[in-house]
């Protein structure tokens, strides 16, 4: 048990311990009190790092002397010492017997020890030089630097919890609603409706499932939080005047497939917004993945790189927002606001004309690409385009811009822009977007190897030029970012109608659910607008996790050697113990640049990293560099050849790509699966919501396209549910996924199955109206109180949720409506297609949704595309409308006594129709385009049906005495 009040070391996760002198907690840095234990401080000083990790203040000399003395006396065991600080790797093979010498000691260990001795000598010489330089600095200048260090030592972000006046009533109502639900179900189960037993049974089953879904969705929102970042402190710490910029490099990933459905102009705007981002140019690299191998995408990027030479300096000179030209020039606002330079109007006019000419050139390329030549496309030099066959072509890489290459019109450097199209061959599984993203990981690792990666869809541009700095406030904070695998930004969209008819903005998910997850272990990964820690994508676990006991590791090794056939059946605990065998080797291999080529190749092959990362020594070496970067001696031509090698279609065979490292395969929603695997390893994520949205994209606002998009997401969830990665049973052994977080992930893969009870519940009101039966018996006083309490708890929960989240009632209502629309259509098809894929092997291919409207504002909103997904909700609408007409006709026929029972039936039927109202509008299109003849025919058919229904009365038995009496009364006999 840990003692209360003793801080935890931010390096190893153990207690810092007590000082020998006064019994107080050990303090390594007296400037900022950054918690570091004695063992870690010994190691830092031994490695030559004599300054605090947080504030960069040199450690006290007396403290160094005491720690050095402790090193001489204690001599801790190397393997044990390393095990505390080591990272773990997912699925790396064990050390074979060939790696041991005759005495049983590891061969690599002796080499590492000799390398460390040489490195220590080098560090000592460097530290002496630093001390001499510091002695030459005048004391006055040292005093001036102290306040700057103090400012830089402050945290880069802070958590703003929801006020107790808002969150406490919210939690109380949740508990009250749970209690009311239990009492409600007790009443429903113990009071069956004998006259309509099948209807009662179906309704109770549906209600129990809805309650289960509510628990999965509600309780992960128990502790929502907000966050605030301090960009000025980030600059004060890492961008000091007169010193080299210490901000971490970032590699941007942009993925596209078909330029005919994802217009090149939209992709180009995304690329331009990245190149103009407010971040040091030498720290930015943009990789565009063209998974279709299209020459149109290649040529449009060439035009984009030329236009970027003018656009980037214009953006940075006048600090414009957003930095995507299409969306900047179409904004309806006063563009002279906050602009003080007289030349701005003139230069803006010139730049707008340049952009219009650029658009003409890109549109000309699109028009040219409408008809493919018989012999295929030919490049400017006359050679055939390698990607003429999109399913069979070699890997292609082209560097358009670079830090030391083309400059802008003002002579400044530009960020790197790289075109990548991975190799495609028949007979290979390419894994769609996830495979393309993994290819970009390897290419970027070879060429630039930035420690952080930001992935964007081709239609999501950078709306806030300081978005990367926002993410760095978490990732580069030594205290916060140590175990952060990614920073997720909310998705915001352009081009959506004000009423947001089909809930395209997903406000409830991004502003309510994600805030709740941020208070647990972090938000789920949503596929775009995410800044990753590259080490987390490589399958490493966070460095501050406690290590597994050595005995369990040895037990795992024994079990593995005795029963190799059952290795895949071991629990997560034993898999983690198995990885622990290589901890010390991985730890010592983090800095292998001092080895010569022969020693490096031997060491890498000995550790069998090829079985995990593939057959590329250059890439494997890059994975061991926590801070990124490529060797200064690297030959660019050699790196390009190696980059072509790592995007080969057979590179991932017999490796851990897509299984344990990179984007995970096995589902069309690879984003959920990838984030889930990371958090099962012990990582946490962070949700960042700056005042100005970081990224914006376009959404398919047409009804059919929107439903197909939801169908794809739901199908991916069903695939995860039917896979080994299902949150219901995966990752329990490690104990690193919090139970509320597991509830949230369970909700993400279970929600499509709600479509089955939802459809049944939406048809029940119509059946009740047509048959004269009802699912609820005659209500007593107690039952009335239970029903009233249930409805009030639902309303109060929603009101309090709106209060602490800040979203509007309209957004909440649109979300409720589309939950029903998507549930009875796309989710239902996803469930059946998921089971067909598992049982019969029938895979469903999805076409990419068109992102642009043809003409006019919101023209695509009213475009009707018939698809089979529309059949179930259309049927439910018609059945309920017919039921309402039949119910009112029957009540008019029977008299005033029938109006009371009719009210309850019609209430539920109107609930269904009201939720499906946006769907009905989508079927009708524009209101002023609805033909009058359709309305007249609807009224006529409804009237005829009512009269026929009253005359036939099919659900009343002819032998029923009450019916005979009623007929006599009606006929006045």
Catalytic residue among 671, 705, 811, 890: 671
The backbone torsions φ and ψ at residue 322, rounded to the nearest 5 degrees and listed phi first, read -75, 170
Q: Write the DSSP symbol of residue 512.
A: I
Q: What is the 3-state secondary structure (H, E, C) of 96-108?
A: CHHHECCCCCEHH
For residue 862 the two structure tokens come to: 């009213």
Q: Are 528 and 697 in contact (CB under 8 A)?
A: yes
C-alpha dihedral, 258 to 831 to 678 to 154, nearest 10°: 80
Give the Cα separation of 285 and 421 in Å (integer): 16
Q: Residue 432, annotated ligand binder?
A: yes
Q: Residue 652, annotated ligand binder?
A: no
- Strand, coil or helix: 298: helix
Q: Which residue has the tokens 């007979």?
A: 427
Number of Cβ atoms within 10 Å of the Cβ of 928? 5
Q: Which residues pair with 384 in a beta bridge?
A: 378
Report CA Rg, the chain: 32
Nearest CA-CA partner of 495 in 530, 520, 460, 465: 460
Q: Are 196 and 805 in contact (CB under 8 A)?
A: no
Q: Write the DSSP symbol of residue 242.
A: T
Give the Cα separation of 966 and 927 in Å (integer): 44
Nearest CA-CA partner of 273 in 32, 461, 56: 461
Of how many residues is the chain composed? Answer: 973
Is 671 considered catalytic here?
yes
Is 258 considered catalytic here?
no
For residue 911 the two structure tokens come to: 């609930």
For residue 949 the two structure tokens come to: 């229904």
Q: Residue 611, annotated ligand binder?
A: no
For residue 213 the two structure tokens come to: 């879904």
Catalytic residue among 42, 251, 290, 291: 291
For residue 453 the two structure tokens come to: 């990666």
Q: Residue 262, annotated ligand binder?
A: yes
The packing angle between helices 809-823 and 781-805, to 10°, is 120
Q: Are 915 and 817 in contact (CB under 8 A)?
A: yes
Burial class from Cβ neighbours inside 10 Å (0-12, 13-18, 19+) for residue 936 reads exposed
Helices (H), 417-503: 432-447, 467-475
Give the Cα separation of 743 and 556 in Å (integer): 30
Q: Residue 433, annotated ligand binder?
A: yes
Buried b (16+ CB within 10 A) or exposed e, 514-535: bbbbbbbbbbbbbbbbbbbbbb
Query: Which residues carry a binding-site annotation for UDP-alpha-D-glucose?
Result: 255, 261-262, 291, 432
Residues annotated as binding site?
255, 261-262, 291, 432-433, 457
Q: Which residues are annotated as a binding site for Mn(2+)?
A: 433, 457
Residues annotated as catalytic (active site), given as ranges: 291, 671
């Amino acid at each position: 048990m840990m003692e209360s009040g003793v801080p935890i070391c931010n390096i190893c996760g153990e207690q810092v311990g007590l000082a020998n002198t006064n019994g107080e907690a050990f303090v390594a840095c007296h400037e900022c009190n950054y918690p570091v234990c004695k063992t870690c401080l010994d190691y830092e000083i031994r490695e030559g790092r004599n300054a605090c990790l947080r504030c960069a203040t040199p450690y006290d000399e007396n403290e160094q002397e005491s720690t050095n003395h402790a090193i001489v006396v204690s001599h801790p065991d190397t393997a044990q010492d390393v095990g505390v600080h080591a990272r773990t790797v997912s699925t790396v093979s064990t050390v074979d017997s060939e790696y041991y010498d005759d005495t049983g000691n590891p061969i690599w260990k002796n080499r590492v020890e000799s390398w460390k001795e040489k490195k220590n000598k080098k560090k000592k010489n460097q530290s002496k030089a630093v001390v001499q330089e510091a002695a030459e600095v005048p004391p006055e200048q040292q005093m001036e630097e102290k306040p700057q260090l103090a400012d830089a030592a402050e945290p880069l972000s802070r958590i703003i919890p929801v006020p107790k006046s808002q969150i406490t009533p919210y939690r109380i109502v949740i508990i009250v609603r749970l209690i009311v639900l239990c009492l409600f179900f007790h009443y429903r189960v113990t009071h069956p409706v004998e006259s309509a037993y099948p209807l009662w049974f179906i309704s109770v089953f549906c209600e129990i499932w809805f309650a289960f879904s509510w628990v999965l969705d509600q309780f992960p929102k128990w502790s929502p939080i907000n966050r605030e970042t301090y960009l000025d402190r980030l600059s004060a710490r890492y961008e000091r005047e007169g010193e080299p910029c210490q901000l971490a490099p970032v590699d941007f990933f942009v993925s596209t497939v078909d330029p005919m459905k994802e217009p090149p102009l939209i992709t180009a705007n995304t690329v331009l917004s990245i190149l103009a981002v407010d971040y040091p140019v030498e720290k930015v690299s943009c990789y565009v993945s063209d998974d279709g191998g299209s020459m149109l995408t290649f040529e449009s990027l060439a035009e984009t790189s030329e236009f970027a030479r003018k656009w980037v300096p214009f953006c940075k000179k006048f600090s414009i927002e957003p930095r995507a030209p299409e969306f900047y020039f179409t904004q309806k606002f006063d563009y002279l606001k906050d602009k003080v330079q007289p030349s701005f109007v003139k230069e803006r006019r010139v730049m707008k004309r340049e952009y219009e000419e650029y658009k003409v050139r890109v549109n000309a390329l699109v028009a040219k690409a409408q008809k493919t030549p018989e012999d295929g496309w030919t490049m400017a030099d006359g050679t055939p385009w390698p990607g003429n066959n999109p399913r069979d072509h070699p890997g292609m890489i082209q560097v358009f811009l670079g830090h030391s290459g083309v400059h802008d019109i003002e002579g400044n450097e530009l960020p790197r822009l790289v075109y990548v199209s991975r190799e495609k061959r028949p007979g290979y599984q390419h894994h769609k977007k996830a495979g393309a993203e993994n290819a970009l990981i390897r290419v970027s690792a070879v060429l630039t190897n930035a420690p952080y990666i930001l992935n964007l869809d081709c239609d999501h541009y950078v709306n806030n030029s300081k978005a990367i700095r926002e993410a760095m406030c978490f990732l580069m904070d030594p205290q916060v970012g140590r175990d952060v695998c990614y920073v997720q930004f909310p998705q915001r969209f352009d081009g959506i109608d004000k009423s947001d008819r089909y809930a395209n903005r997903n406000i409830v998910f991004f502003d309510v659910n994600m805030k709740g997850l941020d208070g647990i272990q972090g938000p789920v990964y949503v596929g775009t607008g995410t800044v990753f820690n590259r080490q987390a994508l490589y399958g490493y676990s966070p460095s501050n996790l406690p290590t597994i006991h050595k005995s369990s590791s040895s037990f795992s090794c024994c079990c593995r050697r005795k029963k190799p056939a059952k290795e895949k059946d071991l629990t997560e605990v034993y898999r983690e113990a198995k990885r622990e065998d290589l901890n010390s080797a991985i730890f010592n291999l983090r800095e292998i640049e001092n080895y010569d080529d022969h020693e490096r190749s031997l060491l890498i092959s000995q550790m069998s990293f090829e079985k995990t990362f593939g057959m590329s020594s250059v890439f494997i070496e890059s994975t061991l560099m926590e801070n990124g970067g490529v060797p200064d001696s690297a030959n660019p031509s050699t790196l390009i050849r190696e980059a072509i090698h790592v995007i080969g279609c057979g590179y991932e065979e017999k490796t851990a790509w897509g299984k344990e490292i990179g984007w995970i395969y096995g589902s069309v929603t690879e984003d959920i699966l990838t984030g889930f695997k990371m958090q099962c390893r012990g990582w946490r994520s962070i949700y960042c919501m700056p005042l100005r949205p970081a990224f914006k994209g376009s959404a398919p606002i047409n009804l059919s396209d929107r439903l197909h998009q939801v169908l794809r997401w739901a199908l991916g969830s069903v695939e995860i549910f039917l896979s080994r990665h299902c949150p219901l049973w995966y990752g329990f052994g490690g104990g690193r996924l919090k139970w509320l977080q597991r509830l949230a992930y369970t909700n993400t893969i279970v929600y499509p199955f709600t479509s089955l009870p939802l459809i049944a519940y939406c048809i029940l009101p119509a059946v009740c109206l047509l048959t004269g039966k009802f699912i609820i018996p005659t209500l007593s006083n107690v039952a009335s109180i239970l029903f009233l309490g249930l409805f009030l708890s639902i309303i109060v929960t929603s009101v309090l949720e709106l209060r602490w989240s800040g979203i509007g009632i309209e957004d909440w209502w649109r979300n409720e409506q589309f939950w029903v629309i998507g549930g009875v259509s796309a989710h239902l098809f996803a469930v059946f297609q998921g089971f067909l894929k598992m049982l019969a092997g029938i895979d469903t291919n999805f076409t990419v949704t068109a992102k642009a409207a043809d003409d006019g504002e919101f023209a695509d909103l009213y475009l009707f595309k018939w698809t089979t997904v529309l059949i179930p909700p259309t049927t439910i609408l018609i059945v309920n409308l017919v039921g309402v007409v039949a119910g009112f006709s029957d009540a008019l026929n029977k008299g005033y006594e029938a109006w009371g029972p009719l009210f309850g039936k019609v209430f539920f039927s109107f609930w269904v129709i009201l939720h499906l109202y946006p769907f009905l509008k989508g079927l009708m299109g524009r209101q002023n385009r609805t033909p009058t003849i359709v309305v007249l025919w609807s009224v006529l058919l409804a009237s005829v049906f009512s009269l026929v229904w009253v005359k036939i009365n099919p659900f009343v038995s002819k032998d029923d005495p009450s019916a005979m009496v009623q007929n006599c009364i009606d006929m006045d006999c």
